[in-house]
Amino acid sequence: MASACHISYLSTGRINIQEDATMARTPVLAAGGIVLRQAATPLVAIVRLRKRNEWVLPKGKLDRGETPRAAAEREVNEETGHDVAVHEFLGTLVYDSRGGAKVVHFWRMEAGPEPVRKLMRDVKAVEWLPLPDAVERLSRGYERAFLENVGPIALSATRTGASAGHTPAPDRIKMVARPRRSLVEKIRDWWHRAA
């Protein structure tokens, strides 16, 4: 649903954009992982949320003062029950969530063979699937598109020994998925650049 926005011209000839509270919200910052577990065919973790019964990538909001990388490790541990080794940054997914933007940073991670803790109560189940099956099982289209693009990079990094300290070239691992911007957002951005 589009937000209300009023555009008026000031006597100085500048445009005055007055936005309602939904457009002025600060983006929600979150972090997570593309979590791999070694097998004959490497497996990717996806989690089933109890509240909406959706299959999603493991991720969650940052706590106050927490870095995105630390939050990613904590959230993945809580949602999958596995300790993980965090490796290179894979990309950022940006999407609309409850009237505001959500910005999620993802790292490649490798999980230990067995869970070390119970799942958090928001998570009903964890599935470990080959990449194509994980992409297909995800409930949200933007997460399917993201995993379809960064999943092969994560698998490639695992096979080439990035775990041992060799990091893939940064130009291969940067990706930002953004939803379409409304006309009001484009005008606001243009106005801020012009001011």
Structure pTM? Answer: 0.72
Judge contact between 93 and 142, C-beta under 8 A.
yes
CA–CA distance, 61 with 55 (Å, rounded to integer): 17
> For residues 106 and 93, is the Cβ–Cβ distance under 8 A?
yes
Sequence spans of domains, the chain: 26-180
Separation of alpha carbons 63 and 58, rounded Å: 16
- Contacts of the segment 92-95: beta carbons below 8 A, 24+ positions apart: 92/175, 92/176, 92/177, 93/142, 93/143, 93/146, 93/176, 93/177, 94/27, 94/176, 94/177, 94/178, 94/179, 95/142, 95/177, 95/178, 95/179
Tens of pLDDT, residues 52-109: 899 999 999 999 999 999 999 999 999 999 999 999 999 999 998 877 899 999 999 9
pLDDT digits (tens, 9 = 90+) for 6-42: 444 444 445 444 444 445 578 999 999 999 999 899 9
DSSP character for 138? -
The residue with greater pLDDT, 180 or 116, is: 116
pLDDT tier for residue 182 given thresholds of 50, 70 and 90: low
Listed residue (180, 105, 110, 195) closest to 146, CA to CA:
105
| Distance (Å, whole) CA 61 – CA 46 | 17
Q: What count of other Cβ atoms lies within 10 Å of the Cβ of residue 27? A: 11
Decide the pairing of beta strands 28-37 and 100-111: parallel
Selection from 9-13, 51-55, 132-136, 153-157 with the highest mean pLDDT? 132-136
Class of domain 26-180: alpha beta
For residue 15, give every residue at least 6 positions away whose Cβ sits within 8 Å of its Cβ, in sequence order, or none.
7, 8, 9, 187, 191
